[in-house]
Structure 1
Amino acid sequence: MLSLANAFSEDELRAFNRRVTGLLEREDVAYVTELKIDGVAIALTYKNGRFVRGATRGNGIVGEDVTANLKTVKQIPLNLKGGGEHISEMEVRGEVYLPLSAFNSLNEERADQGLSQFANPRNAAAGAIRQLDPKVSRSRALSFFGYAIGYIEKGEIKTQKETLETLQEWGFPVNTNFRWHQSIEGVLKFCSGWEPKRESLDYEIDGVVVKVDDLEDQRVLGAISRDPRWAIAYKFPGQVATTRLKEIGINVGRTGSMNPYAVLEPVRLGGVTIKLATLHNEDDVRRKDIRVGDMVVVKRAGDVIPQVVGPVIEQRNGKEKVFRYPDKCPSCGQPVVHLEGEAMAYCLNRECPAQVFEGLNHFISRGAMDIRGLGPSTIWKLLELGFIHNAADLYSSTEEQLAQLPGFKDKSIRNLKTAIEDSKKRPFENVLFALGIRHIGEGVAALLTENFHDLDALLNASEEEIAGIMGIGPRIAHSVYEYFRELRNRELVERLRKAGLKMEKEARAVKSGPLVGKSFIITGTLETMPRSAAEKWIEEHGGSVLASVSKKLDYLVVGADPGSKLAKAQKLGVPTITEKQLFEMVSE
């Protein structure tokens, strides 16, 4: 299943149209626009009209089998009609989502039960279809819209418009707000028209999907990596609202960071009632002079995470109070410290209950060990009962211990034990990311395992050797080096190794292609493709894409309206090339 490149303005939509018409070598290109439902992408397989398998998009190539849970979604037909029952095999793609009315009811129920509330409908939907128990999925009142046919035996469908109409005939719910347009002008009007109307819907949308209508044109245009050249997602700007900041609280993160958050008077934003929002960090609160009691502007950044943009100073009445940051950790009571170069205070007590809890939640997350059936409430109960103290304890947990968890019966216990066992197959880079080392995201973990192929090599590496990796700076190198100097951390990874987790990089084919050994950064807007697609194109041809300009960089690719990277590259003497010159490096 493909992902989509994004457009954030009318100019970027017009640039997309120029790329399409240029590649097709004609101007008369029709488009279909569809509302971009903010849910979970899935693929449904049917054989002779009967639903046999359902999977999430996963990494675009391999998804997660969630057939049992998808069978509980009433809108997904188990048996097709209208001719669909005569097709030997096909795959239908669509979006599972949680209606706003169901989302708000769910959060009210969870609040009454003393449970944590979901941040947004998409998270609630994603959690529902990944449940070990299909009964939980059924209770969430999920819905579904179909929008594409992945493959079909002996199909005669020729356009995207016909695809949507045929899906309806077969019994699939289709979002009826789609429209056909003869040119890009109709697309622009559709996108601008829906931005103010999104509040009227009972489901969240975060934009509009624009697709070339003709399926043969789609085939000709093809894709770059997993981004189709024939489609783009126009993203709406984040929505804003004004409300009062009642108080400021502190969450302690997995690395000990003291993260401020805003407790708000409830306000409706994008169809969701917002009560909490991020304040980013201590420096940001001080710089913006955000005070308790302020009227504040709240924005849903990317239509997912609510954040406080700033105070409405002209509405102050003199009763507002400057927030005093605690000098002791609210979780363990230990003194907090301000580390040089950091924007917030830290609790350095590695036994801090909040850090242990958040660290375990990170360990089991999808990007890390991806242990299905384990969530925050289960982790908290395991800690409370004293069954686990760190990540390694998960692999020695017994069925007798799990049986003491609320709601866990024989089947759910077996499923969880299987999920824990399956996590041992996760690659070394996922294990490294799961450790929760400060400053180590998924990309950095992959970089480290590319250069240090097993745990022992990384354990014995010097800080200078780590910093010598292209794309790794001194701050990251220091964090990794110091992590493995601590005895408790070395003991943890040894226990994880003995439990059977992968601690070495799997051998794979050596990179090949005309760009092998060359590094690139792109600045500015390219003419023929989005920047993200160009970066994937570089990697497909053997090159590497770096995050920051340094003397180690081989080439800076310069498009229209370049940013500050150009000046830095010129100062360091890094060669600059055009988009055309980049492509010529492969075609030579």
Structure 2
Amino acid sequence: MTTDIPTKTRSRWVELVEIIEDARRRYYLHDKPTISDTEYDKCFNELLDIESKFPMLKSLDSPTQSVGGARSEMFEPVTHLSRMYSLDNVFDDQELKTWLDRIDKDLGQTPHYLGELKIDGLAVDIVYRNGLLSSVATRGDGTVGEDVTYNAQFIPSIPRALTGKPPSLLEVRGEVFFELAQFDQINSELEKSSKTEFANPRNAAAGTLRQRVDRREEEVAKAQANSKSSEKRLATLRTELDDAITILQKLRLTVHGIGAVDGAKLASQSESYQLLKDCGLPVSSHYQVGMDPIKFVTYWQEHRHDVEHEIDGVVIKVDNFELQRKLGETARAPRWAIAFKYPPEVVTTKLLDIKVSVGRTGRITPFAHMQPVKVAGSTVEMATLHNEQEVIRKGILIGDTVYLRKAGDVIPEIIGAVESLRDGSEKKFVMPIVCPSCKTNILAVKDADVDLRCPNAKSCPAQLIERLFYIGSRQALDIEGLGSKAAAALINEGILKNEADLFDLTEASLIGSEFFTKAVSAGSKSNQINMAGEKLLSQLEIAKTRPLWRILVALSIRHVGPTVAQTLAKEFSSLQSIISASGQQLASIDGVGEIIAESISEWFSIDWHQDIVKKWQGAGVSLEQTAPKLLSDHLTGISVVITGSMPGYSRDGANEAVTSRGGKVSSSVSKKTDFVIVGANPGSKFDKAQELGVPVLDADGFAVLLESGPSAARSHLGLS
């Protein structure tokens, strides 16, 4: 029971979940990371520790229950032929030596190693069939990524056809990136155009590869076919399309591994690299085989700035494939490879001011405004300071010269002050007592909270803008025309008072808006909406038909992310059913639990929240769950638990394969469970199944269950 959990612990769990979810969303979906790898790992490990002591806190949407990466829904999903793993990290020579000693012990010998540079770009999975390009996908969650094949055709170093004698099937792993010279040129052009510059080469590569070039081409085609389209608009669309293709053509690829392969027998990593070269694929010229790992690490630490692209370390791999198979993998990373992360570059700059921002949940976050300075490949002038206690801990004053680094060569982070350069003019930062956006007194929601929040969720402009932006995000209603600038315009120009009236917007609502209407002469107001206005209105109509789980996510109920929302939508027939459910009913659902149930009940008890629901319903937003079409009903009444990675399925895909046949997928194993489906790298649920004597199915058994039902699955296991 949650009553057994200390208030301070419960409060800290809530805070950690918010921090980690926000960090993941900004890193994986928006390519705008805000906390360092070290801080992320610290928070994640603390959350693991809390949940190990209080298992009742776990939910399906807890960050500990999912892989960090996520596939955005702007692109079609692609299931990788073999899983793309992450890498474990070491940060100094002693940690590397410990890893090398463990390899020697596990293998009973010292293997040959291959060393290569760790390019700081975007990981991709490329499949060739009979020598021809079949698909290009981002890493995603390691099992399912985003289909970016269309965009990849514009990248010169990704060949459409392989040379030499390629295998009939070849799955290649690589990194897409910008060379530093190209990155500087791109940012220079953005600056000249008064557009937002990329924070670093990795973000630039991710953002560029995720452009919807196909949609731009469609917009050009529609404008050409529409006799009412002006030449100016058509020219603008063509320029935007040309710019998108031009920047894609500046991307580069380096391959560094092989996944699935048919038609070739390979004995080692180095042998596979020779095959990739023979096929015309770009392999780094900097890899070495049979070297001393310590010397390799030391050399490239001294020469890391001598290469044409960003690196954040080196990777050491056991070269022999048979030895790799012997060592195996953990749930997230191979045991036969390690990444040595170099310490970030440190520079000094002037701390001009410390300001605060207001987030979607009202969290007040101090951030540093500094003299622009180049560090790790890009110019930086802002850095988060997280909370007032962090400012005190770092001992920094406004006016200080400060040490700055990019943690993980990505996140700008102030380390501390250069105290010897103080001249007495420096000032202490004083945390404001009122919200900078709405002037409401800020406070700690719970006594144990280090974060301060603005409690004026109903009408604080900053929170409203962030919530609108979240509603339009890919994980909520995926409204393409509702970005950060559009959200700000809707609130700042007084078009909306809050999100309740979002779906009542019309052309008349937007007339007079500087952001949503066509430019006219100074002093006049336009009476025609522009492309931004047209796009927003058309996308809002589409959003009205989104599935119930997306509506739940869009409401910004604390702890209700996509996974919990989908669970609720499957359990209840409509939003009204969820509203009417008791806290006990909600808490009894697998993957929900008492804390989330309490949060849901509390949200719907607030009058202005009820007003949002009523107005959305009145505007025609669908608040009912559309019953999924069953492929068959031969799993009706059957309850299964799935653990580990199933070949050919994402986590949601495996669940859907069961539910689309009438079955139920549970998150925990009990005596009532009919089958436990076990894939690669299963967790403790496999052990629990064996303990309770629950039938266990592998991938082949799962296929039998889906195809022929429970009786056939039991026969497959030799059971009556």
Contact 2:669 2:685 (8 Å CA) reproduced: no
Answer with 276-285 or 354-363: which moved more. 354-363
Amino acid at match of 1:357: I
Counterpart residue type for residue 286 of structure 2: N
Q: Structure 2 residue aligned with 1:341, among 434, 443, 448?
A: 448
Of residues 445, 463, 473 in structure 2, which corresponds to 1:355?
463
Q: Aligned letter for 2:323?
A: D
Partner of 2:203: 123
Per mean C-alpha deviation after superposition, the further-off stretch among 108-117 and 500-509 is: 500-509
Shift of 1:27: 0.8
Matched, 1:160 2:269: yes
C-alpha change, 1:256 and 1:296, in structure 2 (3 Å) is same
CA change 1:471–1:69 in 2 (3 A) is closer
Q: Does 1:538 align with 2:683?
A: yes
One-letter amino acid matched to 1:341: A
Is 1:223 the counterpart of 2:305? The answer is no
Partner SS state of residue 84, structure 2:
coil
Answer whether contact 1:158 1:215 (CA < 8 A) is retained.
yes
TM-score by length of 2: 0.61
Q: Report the alpha carbon displacement of residue 14 of structure 1 after superposing the two structures with TM.
A: 4.1
Instruction: Look up the match of 1:557.
Output: none
Distance 1:381 1:369 in 2: 19
Matching of residue 295 in structure 1 with residue 401 in structure 2: yes
SS at match of 1:195: helix
Match of 2:159 in 1: 77
Structure 1 pair 27/294, CA: closer, same or farther in 2 (3 Å)? same
Give SS of 2:314's match: strand
1:66-99 CA deviation, whole Å, 9 max, x = no partner? 1121122222222322334xx4443222111233
8 Å contact 1:36–1:205 — kept in the other structure?
yes
CA contact (8 A) 1:450 1:505 kept: no
How do residues 31-180 of structure 1 correspond to structure 2 at under 5 angstroms? 31-84=113-166, 87-133=167-213, 135=241, 137-140=244-247, 141-180=250-289
Q: Write out aligned runs for 1:507-518 (5 A).
A: 510-511=640-641
Q: CA deviation at 1:510?
A: 2.9
Q: CA, structure 1 residues 30+434, in 2 after alignment: closer, same or farther (shift >3 Å)?
A: farther
Does the Cα contact within 8 Å between 1:424 and 1:502 map onto a contact in 2?
no
Q: Does structure 1 conserve the Cα–Cα contact (< 8 Å) formed by 2:87 and 2:339? A: yes
Task: Indicate conservation of the 8 Å contact 1:103/1:121, yes or no.
Answer: yes
- Please state how far the C-alpha of 1:159 moved relative to its aligned partner: 1.7
Q: Aligned pair in 2 of structure 1 residues 451, 382: CA closer, same or farther (>3 Å)?
A: closer
Q: Deviation at 1:287?
A: 4.1
Q: Secondary structure at the match of 1:94?
A: strand
Distance change >3 Å, CA 335–CA 127, structure 1 → 2: same
Contact 1:243–1:267, Cα closer than 8 Å, also in 2: yes
Secondary structure of the corresponding residue to residue 41 of structure 1: strand
1:319 to partner: Cα distance? 0.6
Find the counterpart in structure 1 of residue 413 from structure 2.
307
Q: More displaced, 231-240 or 246-255?
A: 231-240
Aligned equivalent of 1:484, options 604, 609, 615: 604
Contact 2:500 2:611 in 1 (8 A): no
TM-aligned CA deviation for residue 54 of structure 1: 1.6
How far off is 1:308 after superposition?
Answer: 1.7
The change in CA–CA distance for 1:300 and 1:20 in structure 2 (over 3 A counts) is same
* Cα deviation digits, residues 351-408 of structure 1 (max 9, x gap): 2232122223334445555666764345445666777776687778789989969999
Consecutive unaligned residues of structure 1, counting only runs of 5 or more, are 519-534, 545-588
The runs of 5 or more residues in structure 2 that have no matched partner are: 1-82, 215-240, 520-528, 629-635, 645-666, 671-679, 690-720
Question: Deviations along 1:226-279, whole A, 9 cap, x unmatched?
Answer: 433333333333433222101122222111222111111222222222211111
Match of 1:555 in 2: none
Question: Which residue of the partner structure matches residue 355 of structure 2?
Answer: 249
Residues in 1 aligned to 2:174 and 2:455: alpha-carbon distance in whole angstroms: 46
Q: 1:474 to 1:417 in 2, by over 3 A?
A: closer
Residue aligning to 1:565: none
Hey, what's the Cα distance between the residues in 2 that align with 1:162 and 1:49?
Answer: 19
Q: Could you say what secondary structure the match of 2:463 adopts? A: helix
Q: Could you tell me how far apart the structure 2 residues matched to 1:364 and 1:543 are? A: 41
| Shift of residue 467, structure 1, vs aligned partner | 8.7
What is the rounded CA distance, in whole Å, between the counterparts of 1:55 and 1:399 in structure 2?
38
Q: How many residues align?
A: 517
What is the SS of the residue equivalent to 1:197? helix
Report Cα offsets for 1:503-527 as digits up to 9, x if no partner: 6999995327899669xxxxxxxxx
Q: Structure 1 length as normaliser, TM-score?
A: 0.73
CA contact (8 A) 1:8 1:236 kept: no
2:368–2:383 CA contact under 8 A, matched in 1: yes
Conserved? CA contact 1:244–1:294, under 8 Å = yes
**SS of residue matched to 2:640:** coil
Cα distance change on mapping 1:248 and 1:113 into 2, 3 Å? farther
Alignment-mate amino acid for residue 252 of structure 2:
S
Rounded Cα–Cα distance in structure 1 between residues aligned with 2:687 and 2:611: 38
* Cα pair 1:72 1:138 within 8 Å, conserved: yes
Q: 1:8 and 2:90 equivalent?
A: yes
Cα deviation per residue 1:443-480 (whole Å; 9 max; x = unaligned)?
A: 9x649958994466764567788899999999877655
**Maintained 8 Å contact 2:545/2:622:** no
Contact 2:564 2:592 in 1 (8 A): no
Match of 2:162, SS state, is coil
In the TM superposition, what whole-angstrom CA distance separates every residue of 1:171-222 from its partner, at most 9, and x where no partner exists?
A: 222222212136xxx2233223323432334432222222221233334444
Q: Which residue of 1 aligns with 2:484?
A: 376
Q: Which has the larger radius of gyration?
A: 2
Distance 1:89 1:451, change over 3 A: closer
**What is the DSSP-based 3-state SS (H/G/I as helix, E as strand, rest coil) of the residue aligned with 1:102?**
helix
State the Cα distance separating 1:334 from its structure 2 match: 4.0
SS at match of 2:356: strand
Question: Equivalent pairs: percent with the same residue?
Answer: 35
Worse-superposed segment, 321-330 or 278-287: 321-330
Write the distance in 2 (CA, Å) between the matches of 1:266 and 1:342: 33
Out of 232, 242, 245, the position equivalent to 2:338 is 232
In structure 2, relative to structure 1, the CA distance for the partners of 1:470 and 1:50 (3 Å cut) is: closer
The DSSP-based 3-state class of the residue aligned with 1:224 is coil
Whole-angstrom CA distance in 1 between matches of 2:340 and 2:616: 44
> Could you tell me whether the CA contact under 8 Å between 2:570 and 2:625 is conserved in 1?
no
1:499 partner amino acid: V
